Chain A
Amino acid sequence: MRYQLSIFMENRPGKLEAITKILAQNNINIRGISLASAGEFGVVKIIANESDRAYEVLKKAHFAVSKREIVIALINDTPGSLHDLLKNLSSNNINVEDCYGIVLEEGEKAAIVLEVEKFPEAERVLKANNITVMSDTEI
């Protein structure tokens, strides 16, 4: 299972830093990060190269952290690519709960991180439409 870590965080200076510090000290690499806030608090989502270990070290430091299953789709870094991806999902009635993207190679490749309601289905739909889904090792 591919997953990212979702961590509760107060929206104050130094709070995000406390998380990155722990990961750095444990020599864990962050491959993707996104942040959503609701005023005084927020949720930071992190894709780590060693998810299980990242989860353990944060848990040990008493962060409220949970594992969220994700699908990472590789698309072309061209106009309309994300649109095509989303169209495939919506036409199959798959709702996207969270989504952010990272350009991997300018003009070539981008990775789209998705949290969806129905996982096996989402992967099946994407594969059927010739969209590459990243595996564990690739992360």
Chain B
Amino acid sequence: MYWEKDIETMDRRELDSYQLNKLNETLQLAGRSPYYRSLSRREELNFKEIKSIEEIKELPFTTKKNLQDGFPYDFLAVDLKDVVRLHSSSGTTGNPTVVYHTKEDIETWENLIARCMYMTGVREDDIFQNMMGYGLFTGGIGFHYGAEKLGVLTIPIGPGNSARQIWFLRKFKTSVIHILPSYALRLYSFFNEMEINPRKDLNLKIAFIGAESHSEEIRRKIEDLYGIKAYNSYGLSEMCGPGVAFECPCQKGMHVWEDHFYMEIINPDTGKVLPEGEEGELVLTTFKRRAMPLIRYRTGDLTRIIPGTCDCGRTHRRIDRIKGRTDDMLIINGVNIFPIQIEMILMRIPEIGHNYLIEIRKENYMDRLYIKVELNEEVFIGTLFELEKLQVRITDDLKSELGVTPVVKLVEPSSLPVSEGKAKRVYDLRNN
């Protein structure tokens, strides 16, 4: 049941000293990147050897904003010729978050995913259908190479097209899927329509669900509907992608691979490190990343370290389900969106006014983004045709920026609520 038994069950004290060595390596490596070098010049970061892992508290945080400001190459710690791939956020608001990989980074990541998959029981004779998005997004590609590394027949089908998904599931007797939890629920309604019972008519046994936060109830529901085991997966492109933390068969939290990452939970307001068990922001430091080592990276994800050891025998500590975000980032069907992106697009369109409202609802298990925009009374032309054209234009502009198709509603000028002070424009109604 272990992909790398020595590492996964390493004695805790041994793991701690392993981490200290790795942290010092990362510090040396990071010192080669222009960003961390400049921190050291300003005496905000010291590259002298750390004697105890506790001293990591003295090091400065790295934020998403730092990464964006450092676009494109300020965080690169190797020569460009040694970089073989980049992944990037879509954001055209400011700079995208770009993450680079050397060949070694890619191999390390592959191995990490293979470790996660093997842990849940995936073996060479399985058939793996990867329904996660490929491309700049790390979810699809990360699992793809990990599965191949493990030696599993991998179907790189990507997301969507439910009829085709079901055809592949049946014809190839797929046993393992990687899927957005919301899509798993939506896909189930197609089975109903086609009068297929996934419990009886398919060969499925395992689903990896991730890229969006979901409740324990949703997981149990997916397991029940499909008659499978569903495992929670956590990752972020800044660390590599998926594979940072993963559930074992005990399904009691996700093991953070502590030979690859150092984790801390901090109070997001004060930056103070919190004791085990308390909820706060997850902060990660990379140990093995070559192209782009990161020190104390603030993930923005809220969780806690689960105290105690796991029955599976792994010594790597676990984190709880992600509870939410410290910033205003929205995750809509797995796609990360900042409200400011929506605002920027809207404000470029003269036919609409300054007030707008964002609503996110759950419909048929999928997230649905609604955007209400007030018409600009000064620029109204007066025909229905122009209004319909405007509605399509706003929808298209937002879709190409966000990668998500919103439902755009035109409303009368001055009809949306105007709040005192900081306007509340985002209403997340998914849990209602």
Residues of A within 8 A of B (CB): 6, 8-10, 15, 36-38, 40-43, 59, 62-68, 97-98
- A6-B382, A43-B382, A98-B383 known; 4 new pairs, CB 8 Å cut-off, are A10-B411, A62-B377, A64-B413, A65-B382
Chain B's closest residue to A97 (CB) is: B383
Q: List 16 A-B contacts (CB under 8 A).
A: A6-B382, A8-B387, A36-B384, A37-B384, A38-B387, A40-B409, A40-B410, A41-B387, A41-B409, A42-B384, A43-B383, A62-B377, A62-B412, A62-B414, A64-B375, A64-B412
Residue among A8, A10, A62, A68 facing the most chain B CB atoms (10 A cut-off): A8
* Contact, CB under 8 Å: B410 / A41: yes
**Counting CB contacts under 8 A, is B194 at the interface?**
no
- Residue B380 CB within 8 A of the other chain: yes
- Bound state CA distance, A51 and B413, in angstroms? 21
Give Cα A98 to B383, complex, Å.
9
Pairwise interchain contact A64-B376, C-beta atoms closer than 8 A: yes
Is B267 an interface residue, CB under 8 A from the partner?
no
Q: Is the CB of A38 within 8 A of B375?
A: no
Q: How far is the CA of A95 from the CA of B415 in the complex (A)?
A: 35
- The answer to whether A63 touches B409, judged by C-beta atoms less than 8 angstroms apart, is no
B377 & A68 in contact (Cβ 8 Å cutoff): no
Chain A residues closer than 8 Å to B412, beta-carbon distance:
8-10, 15, 62-64
Closest chain B residue to A41, Cβ basis: B410
Known A-B contacts A9-B412, A10-B415, A40-B409; the reply to A66 vs B384 at CB < 8 A is: no
User: Size band of the B side of the interface?
Assistant: 10 to 19
CA distance A59 to B378 in the complex (A): 9
Residues of A within 8 A of B415 (CB): 10
- Chain B residue numbers with a CB within 8 Å of A9 are 412
Report the minimum CB–CB distance from A16 to chain B (whole Å): 12
Closest CB-CB distance, B283 to chain A, in whole Å? Answer: 45
Q: Which 6 A/B pairs are nearest by Cβ-Cβ distance? A: A6-B382, A66-B382, A64-B380, A62-B414, A64-B377, A64-B375
- Which residues of B are interface residues toward A (Cβ below 8 A)? 375-377, 380-384, 387-388, 409-415
Docked complex Cα distance between A49 and B46 (Å): 80
A6 to B386, CA, bound (A): 12
Residues of chain A contacted by B375 (CB below 8 angstroms) = 8, 64
Query: Quick one: closest A residue to B410, CB to CB?
Result: A41
Q: Is the CB of A63 within 8 A of B413?
A: yes
The docked-state distance in angstroms from the alpha carbon of A40 to that of B411 is 9
Closest partner residue, chain B, to A6 (CB atom): B382
* Cross-chain contact of B380 among A15, A36, A38, A65 (Cβ < 8 A): A65
Nearest neighbor of A3 in chain B, beta-carbon distance:
B382
Q: Which residues of A contact B380 (CB under 8 A)?
A: 6, 8, 64-66
Contacts of A98 in B (CB 8 A): 383
* Chain B min CB distance to A8 (Å): 5
> What's the least CB distance linking B373 to chain A, in Å?
11
Closest to A58 in B: B377
- Write the chain B residue with the least CB distance to A37: B384
- Taking the closest CB of chain B, its distance from the CB of A50, in whole angstroms, is 19
A22 to B381, CA, bound (A): 21
- Report the Cα distance A66→B375, complex, angstroms: 13
In the bound complex, how far is the Cα of B375 from the Cα of A6, in angstroms?
A: 14
Tell me, in angstroms, the Cα distance from A51 to B383 when the chains sit together.
18
- A43 adjacent to B377 (CB under 8 Å): no
Closest to B375 in A: A64
**A10, A42, A67 — most chain B CB neighbours (10 Å):** A10
Contacts of A37 in B (CB 8 A): 384
State whether B388 touches A38 (Cβ < 8 A): yes
- Interfacial chain B residues near A66, Cβ < 8 Å: 380-382
Determine the distance from Cα of A66 to Cα of B383 in the docked complex, in whole angstroms.
9
In contact, B383 and A6 (Cβ under 8 angstroms): yes
Residues of B with C-beta under 8 A to A40: 409-410
Q: How far is the CB of A32 from chain B (nearest CB, A)?
A: 15
Chain B residues in 8 Å Cβ range of A42: 384
A114 to chain B, nearest CB (A): 14
Shortest C-beta distance, B355 to chain A (Å), equals 11
Which A residue's beta carbon lies closest to that of B407? A40
State the CA gap A43–B377 with chains docked (Å).
13
Which A residues lie within 8 Å of B411 (CB)? 10, 41
